[in-house]
A and B are shown apart, each in its own frame.
Chain A
Amino acid sequence: MVSSLVVGGTLGEILESLTAASLVGEPIVLAYGQAAAKAEEIASRGVKVFRLNGEHPDLIFKAAKKLFEELKPKVIIGHSTKNNRDALSRLAGLYDLAMATDVVKIEPGDDHIIYERGFLSERAIAREKASYPAIVLINQKVFEPYSAQGQGEIVDIDVGTPDVQIVEIKKKQLSGINLEEAEIIVGVGRGFKKKEDLKLAFELAELLGAQVGASRPIAADYKWLPEDAWIGISGKRVAPKLYIAIGISGAPQHMAGVNNSKIIVAINKDKSAPIFKQADYGVVADLYQFVPVLIKKLKERKEK
């Protein structure tokens, strides 16, 4: 009997979600978007794959609803992506299901699932118990990719047309950097007064062999950096050995993305900025004065 439904838009999401889902019981998969093109690879893990053409949230909702009604899984599992939150919150609303997001741990039981998730902008962890059926959206990299072998069936799923029309899609200009793998990250925030000034951060990053990341306003609002530089609860979650936050105040939504760093350095001119309480080393100084000096000293060191 099918006991869990995995919903995802990329191969990576689906393989990690399958590991979580297999803790509940026999999984099936709804693969949309890029993941639909990887249906064979997913099926080779010995699971049945329902392949949905496209990634319109209306269609993901309708497909998930159809599978939920027909197969009655105990749990629906996927990553906490925007499309999953959008589509599955509607299924949750339709059937009054519990729905958890940003989940970092699960303990499935016979008639319920216990999970842990971020709470209070991830300054706390909520441990909760939900009755089946429930929707559980996990964080990335919490579970290993599913590695079982087998031969699953692939079925195309057709759920008609969306209610809302997508009239145009604009691809974002992304840098393609993989912040999740970076060893050292220089994070830039609103302490920088204009885009050109970011060259200070880039110069520092180059010396350190670091990547440049940003707080949400710098990437998503001002667009001074591509949006894949966006770090935080609604952006990338990173885990470098060194994170240097420059002109970043330390809002919990930003820190949620960097708390797994080994060492955090904060450079901020306001000595009462919350980031100093969440950093290992703090420098209270104007970044425009301090960063050039830091660059000079690092260069001297390098030349020695």
Chain B
Amino acid sequence: MGDIVVLVKPALNPDMLRSKPDGTVDIVGIPLKFDDIDANAIEAAKELKKNLGGKIIAVLLLPWGPTAKRSKDLRMVTQEALARGADEAIVIADDTLLPGDQVITANVIAETIKKHVPNASLILVAEASIDQTTGQIGGRIAAKLGYPYISYARSIKAEGDKIVVERDVEDRIEIMEARLPAVVSVTQEINEPRPPTLLQIRRAGKKPQHKLSASDLGITVERKKEPLEYRILTVSRKQIIIEGDTLEEIAEKLIEALEKEGVLSI
């Protein structure tokens, strides 16, 4: 079989929110990080590689600019993908593709796969990212490549040129069977990613990285949407820490406070 492609997103870190004085999000001030569920996708790829063979190719597209300011974060995310188990990385960072959106991302990644990993057996993507959380990239790429798509995988087993997937839907699990090549989105439940070891981190530096631009891929960008405003959602909570000499005292004070709020019906 061919190689396994894993999409890795350098995502805005919602735990490091930055705002401007007018309450809008300071996008450029928020650092990028290796996206959470991409770790599950790489871990799944490592497991499947035992059966499917081939290499694990991480494909990274920088979605937030400017490229000059993001190069360090992008390098860290690429390193992490390689340390976690990707054998090679393809990195696309290009100011003409910024800011990224899902139409651009899907076109760039589908073109990258067609031109640079045409033999891909399986394309793995996270169920959703931590910044946009729209969960649509897998489906878009599957449609562009004309491959079967299975979303929300809780397990993937490879048998010959077939995969069997447990797909999570709200009230049931569907066991699905597809022929390869296919695109699969993975959930957080699919496995428990192991943090990379020191040795893996050191080795990551020696693994091949390929850099691509929009013109290398022959991509011309047509935007279907434009951002108007990104506004911080302010939750104004009281943030009162209840203190006391004993747990009894704290419990009493808490009950009193909740009664005052009128939220206890005891």
Contact = CB atoms under 8 A, between A and B. Distances in A.
Interface of A: 57-58, 61, 81-83, 85-94, 96-102, 114, 118-131, 134, 163-172, 174, 183-184, 207-209, 216-217, 220-221, 227, 233-234, 241-242, 252-253, 255, 259, 262-265, 271, 274, 276-285, 289-290, 293-294, 296-298, 301-302
B76 interface: no
A86 B151 contact: yes
A194 to B, nearest CB: 17
Interface in B239-266: 239-242, 247-248, 250-252, 254-255, 257-258, 261, 263-266
A277 B178 CA distance: 46
Interface centre among A58, A97, A234, A278 (most CB of B within 10 A): A234
B239 A125 contact: no
14 contacts: A85-B139, A89-B135, A89-B143, A92-B143, A98-B103, A134-B225, A168-B174, A171-B171, A209-B266, A234-B128, A252-B14, A252-B15, A259-B235, A302-B266
Contact of A172 (B172, B227, B231, B251): B172
B47 interface: no
B169 interface: yes
Interface of B: 12, 14-15, 17, 25, 30, 101-103, 106-107, 127-128, 130-144, 148-152, 164, 168-178, 182, 187-189, 222, 224-233, 235, 237-242, 247-248, 250-252, 254-255, 257-258, 261, 263-266
A253 B263 CA distance: 25
A93 B228 contact: no
A263 B263 contact: yes
B136 A265 contact: no
Given A86-B149, A93-B139, A99-B136, A124 B170 contact: no
B258 A281 contact: yes
A126 B227 contact: yes
Contacts of B247: 285, 289-290, 293
Contacts of B137: 89
B132 A119 contact: yes
B10 to A, nearest CB: 14
Contacts of A294: 251, 254-255
Query: DSSP majority for the A interface?
Result: mixed
Contacts of B174: 166, 168-170
Given A93-B143, A290-B250, 17 more contacts: A82-B151, A86-B149, A89-B139, A91-B143, A96-B103, A121-B130, A126-B227, A127-B228, A163-B178, A164-B149, A174-B171, A208-B265, A252-B15, A280-B237, A281-B258, A285-B247, A301-B266
A260 to B, nearest CB: 10
B235 A90 contact: no
Contacts of A284: 241
Given A85-B136, A121-B130, A297 B248 contact: yes
A128 B228 contact: yes
B138 A89 contact: yes
Given A57-B151, A99-B136, A276-B239, A127 B227 contact: yes
A101 B134 contact: yes
